[in-house]
Amino acid sequence: MIPGILGKKIGMTQVFRPDGQVIPVTLIKAGPCVVVQRKTPLRDGYDAIQLGLLEYVKSSRINKPMKGHLAKAGVDGIRFLREIRLRPGDPDYKPGDRILVDQFRPSDRVDVTGISKGRGFAGFVKRHHFRGGPATHGSMFHRAPGSIGASSFPSRVWPGMRMAGHMGNQRVTVRNLEVIEVHPEDNLLVVKGAVPGPSGGYVIVRRAKR
């Protein structure tokens, strides 16, 4: 059983179950992937595989160190690389092995990781859903953050204080999504619900941990 696969988010749509229920789904072009490197506990301290997503990439878009790294596995045309940890009982993969979407089945559960959409600089009301102050009756406190720390002690702002700042563009994982359909001929994986990132964004699909 494969531990995971790399892919690209195509977009969202909906499917109908035989009983007429409408399900929102996300289409993911999952694979084909190739094992670029094998990490072992003896040499690296942990058990994992480094996967690469096979796609058309101009040679000028890959630098020389990466070309040499890919040449060791005998592959090219890879720009998106990620490591996936192996669990006890997983197959013994070797560099050059192919991983395809046909090893997933409907009703499987997966965790999908991607980079969320960047929203730029946002205030604390939009970014953290703060309530803000009164809007009427002479109030002059509308969308201000209020106190962010005491004066005498600690005389500084604590790390992690929720404030205005860069919103989005973070690594996000959505867990326990159900696989609705698998189309091996098109390398297509259909999962229930939404996954992080924009259409065309890279995602990592792993077997659900829970």
Dump pLDDT digits (tens) for 101-127: 888 889 889 999 999 999 999 999 999
Confidence of residue 180 (pLDDT cuts 50, 70, 90): very high
Cβ contacts of 204 within 8 Å, gap of 6 or more: 4, 5, 6, 7, 82, 84, 112, 113, 114
Going along the chain from its start, the domains and CATH numbers come out as: 4-118+171-207 (2.40.30.10), 119-167 (no CATH)
Q: What is the pLDDT of residue 74?
A: 80
Q: What is the pLDDT of residue 96?
A: 82
pLDDT in tens, 84-103: 888 887 788 888 888 888 88
Cβ contacts of 179 within 8 Å, gap of 6 or more: 104, 105, 106, 107, 108, 109, 110, 189, 190, 191, 192
Q: What is the pLDDT of residue 37?
A: 87
**What does the mean pLDDT of the chain come to?**
89
Q: What is the pLDDT of residue 95?
A: 84
CA 186 to centroid of chain Cα atoms: 21
For the entire predicted model, the pTM comes to 0.82
- Over residues 131-141, mean pLDDT: 90
Residue 154, preceding peptide bond in cis (omega within 30° of 0): yes
CA dihedral over 27, 31, 36, 39, signed as positive or negative: positive
The single-letter code of the amino acid at 110 is: V
Confidence of residue 199 (pLDDT cuts 50, 70, 90): very high
Q: What is the pLDDT of residue 171?
A: 94
Q: What is the pLDDT of residue 204?
A: 93
pLDDT in tens, 40-61: 888 888 888 898 888 888 878 8
Distances (CA, A) of 128 to 18, 20, 139, 145: 40, 37, 22, 11
State yes or no: pLDDT of 77 exceeds 80: no
pLDDT in tens, 7-27: 999 999 999 988 889 999 999
Higher per-residue pLDDT: 139 or 1: 139
- Over residues 151-159, mean pLDDT: 88
